[in-house]
Amino acid sequence: MYRGPFGRRQAERLLWRAGFGPRKGEAEALARLGLDGAVQALTRPGPERLVGPPPRDRRGNSLAPTDASGHDHAWWLDRMVRTSRPLVERMTLVWHDWFATSNVGVGSQRFMLAQNGLLRRHALGSFESLLLELTRDPAMLVWLSGNRSEETAPNENYARELMELFTLGAGKGYTERDVREQARALTGWRSDFRQGVGWVDFRYDPARHDAGFKRVFGRRGRFDWKDACRLCLEHPAHPEFLVRKLWSYFVPEPPAGDTRRGLERLYRAGGRRIRPLLEAILRHPALHEGPRMTKPPVVVTAGLLRTLGTGVRTEAWAERDALSGQRLFYPPSVAGWDEEAWLDTATFRGRWNGVAAALAPRISRPGASEPVQAPALVRRARAFLGDPTLTSATTGALTRFAARALADADTPARRRARTASVENALRLLIAASPDFQTC
């Protein structure tokens, strides 16, 4: 367990890693609870309260997340911004990446939103319950062809990803025969297709299930879809896979061997529940003392909107976050998003544009700011953004920039006008800086 100081800066990192950053004053309030109290507040929150005005589209209308393009993304982004349970919402995002399902293949925002609700309900609960519910979830059944897999033609899509991506890891303890046998076990789900409506009436049909004997991981039985899941969860490779993958969402370096083994024991002893693991990870020294992590694009957007208190006022965030590399409900593949590409030459432009769009409603107008010296102007820009942690190198570069920009404003009127433009520039530079884009 981390034994070092737990002040505002440590609380700020915790709120970014386990949520979407602090609203103004939240880091200070969390720090006063101490590390144990802060972790408990995140992992054992009360009923959800959505703080602030409801989201709107660019015309000022209510969102239509089940129907209109981009409104699904804006709807979920709004929950991230206004939630009083940030870890629950962050884990919903983690599971969306872990069990990556894309509306490109599903073709139904209604199914995708229903799956989103499922992920949220199980966010901190039993991984076994989550896996079982997702296996029969309509969006997942359509995405990986489970609703078209029957005894005479078992489909291997879900069987393969169940082991490779969801529970064991690529090539870890299973063979191609296991994939084929698991596909047989998973047969039986079906749905009907209605022209103009899509897939309806998802159900399990025993007549379509292969009830014969299967051999999976060396075990023989008349396995069905529930058995397919539980065989993976009982596999010796599963606890290590789950611990390593869950850890990677909160700490950028792999866990040390003793840490990993301790978390695996905790997972097994806790009946495959996620909350105890999260509490251990959020208290671990590696999270508080280790290197910084790149924030996912939607986390940056949500965090900025939380700090600024401006809320979601357009569905254009779907396009903006997509340019940064992450559109909700549209992961690029069944493997989810590639975190290695979060900050490349293509996606950083999207982040810059997103920061500018978030700041635009709060832009400082010429003459609105009293002239001050460069260091004070930097402090003011930082305070506007909730006083985010910045390195001395970043602070120095910002101060030098402000001093140069103000240097030739040689009259009170020019200095007043220039102060506003420099302050706006400093806000943008801070929010787009590596210090803000990582945590």
| Whether 341 contacts 347, CB under 8 Å | yes
Largest CA distance in the chain: 88
389 in the same domain as 281: no
160 in the same domain as 63: yes
Does 332 fall in a domain? no
250 in the same domain as 121: yes
- Domain interval for residue 167: 46-289
What is the rounded CA–CA span in Å between residue 134 and residue 142? 12
Q: If you average pLDDT over residues 140-169, what whole number do you get?
A: 98
The domain boundary, picked from 289, 315, 330, lies at 289
Does 232 fall in a domain? yes
Q: Which of 137, 175, 139 is nearest to 156 (CA)?
A: 175
Indicate left, alpha or beta for 170 from its phi (over 0: left) and psi (-120 to 50: alpha).
beta
23 has a pLDDT exceeding 80: yes
Quickly list DSSP for 86-100. HHHHHHHHHHHHHT-
Provide the pLDDT for residue 344.
Answer: 87
Q: Residue type for 414, please?
A: R
Does 19 fall in a domain? no
The domain boundary, picked from 261, 289, 317, lies at 289
Secondary structure of residue 119 in the 3-state scheme: helix
Does 225 fall in a domain? yes
What is the rounded CA–CA span in Å between residue 70 and residue 420? 34
Indicate left, alpha or beta for 73 from its phi (over 0: left) and psi (-120 to 50: alpha).
alpha
User: Domain total for the chain?
Assistant: 2
pLDDT digits (tens, 9 = 90+) for 241-270: 999 999 999 999 999 999 999 999 999 999
Q: Which of 381, 388, 386, 361 is nearest to 428 (CA)?
A: 381
Q: What pTM value is reported for the model?
A: 0.96
195 in the same domain as 91: yes
pLDDT digits (tens, 9 = 90+) for 345-365: 889 999 999 999 999 998 887
Provide the pLDDT for residue 368.
Answer: 61
The domain boundary, picked from 271, 289, 307, lies at 289
Q: If you average pLDDT over residues 339-343, what whole number do you get?
A: 87
